[in-house]
Copies of this chain bind each other. A is one copy, B any other.
């Protein structure tokens, strides 16, 4: 079975530090920096969040946990985030396929 053939969990992570001003790109860059350290996930940044693709939910949770902790290390004292997960086990697919299927 090649990589193409494995099931993937696709998710989107959106994060807001609260009380750190209205310009949050510094924190988002730090969170992205941590997400990129997770070798097992694929990422795609959009204007409202970061899409994460992995072979398991555990890998997504581990990457999100690291990104979340990093935002506190950068100085935030309250962080709100949303993680939307789409886990489909009747069809092998990758994140690009979800877009091409509706285009």
Residues in chain A within 8 A of chain B (CB atoms) = 10-12, 14, 16, 18-25, 28-29, 32, 44-49, 51, 53, 57-58, 61, 65, 68, 72, 77-91, 95-96, 98-99, 101-103
Interface of A is mostly: mixed
| Complex: chain B residue closest to A101, CB-CB | B25
Q: Which residues of B contact A25 (CB under 8 A)?
A: 101-102
Q: Which residues of B contact A19 (CB under 8 A)?
A: 19-22
Whether B103 contacts A45 by the Cβ 8 Å rule is: yes
Taken together, the copies of this chain in the complex come to: 4
Q: Which residues of B contact A99 (CB under 8 A)?
A: 45-47
Whether A77 contacts B102 by the Cβ 8 Å rule is: no
